[in-house]
Chain A
Amino acid sequence: METLKEKQTESTTKKTITISGAEAIIHCLLAEGVDLLYGYPGGAIMPVYDELYKFQDKLTHILTRHEQGATHAAQGYARVSGKVGVAMATSGPGATNLVTGLADAQIDSTPMVCITGQVPRHLLGSDAFQETDIIGISTPVTKWNYQITTAAEIPEIMAKAFYIARSGRPGPVLVDITKNAQFEEFEFSYEKCTGVRSYNPTPKPSPNAIAAAAELINSAKKPFIVWGQGVILGKAEEELKALVEKAGIPAAWTILGASALDTDHPLNVGMVGMHGNYGPNLLTNECDVLIAIGMRFDDRVTGRLESYATQAKVIHFEIDPAEIHKNVYADVAILGDAKESLNLLLPKINKNTHESWHNIFKEKYQIEFDTVIKNDIHPTKAGLTMGEVIEEINIASGHKAVIVTDVGQHQMIGCRYAKFKQSKSNITSGGLGTMGFALPAAIGAKMGAMDREVVAIIGDGGYQMTIQELGVIFQHKVPVKIVVLNNDHLGMVRQWQELFFEKRYASTVMVNPDFVKIAEGYHIEAKRVSERKDLKETIQKMIASKDAYFLEVKVEQEDNVFPMIPSGASVSEVRLQ
């Protein structure tokens, strides 16, 4: 550390220091405010790990048990903190193991920088040991990527990587660094990136479009808001709430938009999409103005496009020009940052209430409550339901927990029934549907919000895809709460087989290990609950625990998630059973 101090003192006069490329990478990370990263060492990235060893008082490296875990942990960290998540891996298999996380971050707009080692420049293209074309492989799943082959490129490219990852519509960036560039010494100085000439991350909202949107909203009789993650990424939660309240508009969320507005807000009418709430789905096709804010009309949201909100005028608030008219034609498109756009819109909006229209949502909710929700969260049958587990977690955590879900039935139930009071509280793999996401993402989420309760809710299938990350929880004493909802099946696929493949349960039955013993093997306190009488108390004990806690709940094996819009059907065809 002495030498660093000397170098830094020197640097104040010369503004440059002579260091290796590997050390330069550390300085770049520190300059970007990174104090935590996830990764896995290997041959081609060893010089950087050697520097991490020297800088461990400033930069914490968490050794995940698989590189995929590093990406999901970085994603979880980014999603709760709003900062850029960082993951590091070696060349070859280390790099290819990042691909799922990159794809997940790309489709869910998560800011992440991945750094990979690469064989020395003179060996590029020679099929050297652990050489793989990670630039070629990662191109379709990154917002930007770049291969550094000389140390002198490091500061500019690293600055650009962080700028691109976090600006505009965020996304993953991969920087591949050849080993020779890590060893080379050069004159280092760092300047943050403030712009790239070919890249316009945040378009300015057009005043004409804002005026047109205000006019449509003010004259609407049955307006309906659907918001997505753009509200959270754009830090526009207050503006959304102000719009909803001022104009009295019922508002629903996409899965990634959850928690931007309190679940209990009177005008929050629930989730849209395949397993969303009955009212918001059905009434999408009855509203006269559909106000989409920071969402991209994913097919899981729209169902059959030809019969999606065709009666409505559509207003689309969106930061990414490529999303305008991509799936749904926007009568008014407002390009720009959600916060800025909504702030321009708000003064032009008339105070209003749409009571009779809002009442229709309430009526639909009552129907859904009577046929679905009641049985999900207050079941009368013997077997435990996923819904009642979520409800107990809500009660025990006072709606304050960050809920991290994996992919499948438990995810849909979790997102439907988890209650939120604070933004950035629902962490899930939305667009890619990555099983195995939740356990490592929960580790990252906890490290990104140490003051918050983090509960991972995972199915027995997805849990086993990244179960090795229990090692991180054990080694670094990460106090996350892990709830496995075990139905001994790949539940969602089984549900589709039941409904659409005449109950041919091809490869969806899971013969599972003793999950409690596995957790105990990692010295994590673990319990299994199979009966309702033990549920409340155990969940309360879990939430009260200061340490990591594993809870397996044996739930009904063949429960289905409803409501459901069958794949390819219209939102009007939402089924309650």
Chain B
Amino acid sequence: MEKKWFTMSVYSENNVGLLNRISGIFLKRHINIESLNVSKSEIDNVSKFTIVIYTTDKWVQNIVGQIEKQIEVIKAFYHTDDETIYQESALFKIASDLLFDERQIQNIIKESNSQIVTVARDFFVLAKSGKRNEIDEMYEKFKPFGIMQFVRSGRISVSKEEMKISALLKDFQH
């Protein structure tokens, strides 16, 4: 079966140990988590895991079933890339002298649609949000000048279709 990129959205209680329980489900099936983000969600006191994996339809269904089975998981969804709006964020720490000495640097900043977060005596920090390939492109452009530090976040994503989560929570309460 063909492998694809899937974004899983897991709504859960905010409890110690749940991340371990969820990551164990991937471990047991020898499936690598490509990216993981945990944050609050649109519902008070409900956490949202956004997990990206590269696998087959069959495995993503299996994993979503196993995740949803965990007591503290309210609901888990999975979507393909074209069913979601998604982004990642990255920070680039770059030597300050380059900002003033290399004209091209300023062009890269403009073209890449990134923001300067801070400028210090020795370095400045750029923030870039977008698709993985856009961040990678920017990375490649800066690379010849030297990147002091680089970090990229996990994917965050919202689905195009409604995830009927609030209604589910109401059902559970009865």
Contact = CB atoms under 8 A, between A and B. Distances in A.
Given A197-B169, A200-B172, A322 B17 contact: no
A252 B171 CA distance: 37
B73 A139 contact: no
Contacts of A136: 17, 20
Interface residues of A, number: 23
Contacts of A197: 74, 169, 172-173
Contact of B172 (A143, A195, A320, A322): A195
A326 B62 contact: yes
Contacts of B171: 200
Nearest to B66: A322
Contacts of B28: 140
Contacts, number: 53
Contacts of B66: 322
Nearest to B72: A198
B104 to A, nearest CB: 50
A144 B172 contact: no
Given A321-B65, A325-B61, A143 B71 contact: yes
A198 B24 contact: no
B88 interface: no
B65 A198 contact: no
Contacts of B137: none
Given A322-B66, A322-B68, A325-B61, A198 B73 contact: yes
Nearest to B174: A195
Contact of A198 (B16, B20, B62, B74): B74
Contacts of A139: 17, 20-21, 24
A438 B169 CA distance: 43
A320 B62 CA distance: 12
Given A140-B24, A140-B28, A198-B12, A322 B71 contact: no
B44 to A, nearest CB: 13
A549 B24 CA distance: 44
A330 interface: no
A199 B68 contact: no
A325 B60 CA distance: 12
A134 to B, nearest CB: 11
Nearest to B16: A147
Contacts of A140: 21, 24, 28
A198 B13 contact: yes
Interface of A: 135-136, 139-140, 143-147, 164, 195-200, 320-326
28 contacts: A135-B20, A136-B17, A136-B20, A139-B20, A139-B21, A140-B24, A140-B28, A143-B71, A144-B71, A146-B17, A164-B71, A195-B173, A197-B173, A198-B12, A198-B71, A198-B72, A198-B73, A199-B72, A200-B171, A200-B172, A321-B65, A321-B68, A321-B69, A322-B62, A322-B69, A323-B65, A324-B65, A326-B62
Interface of B: 12-13, 16-17, 20-21, 24, 28, 61-62, 65-66, 68-69, 71-74, 169, 171-173
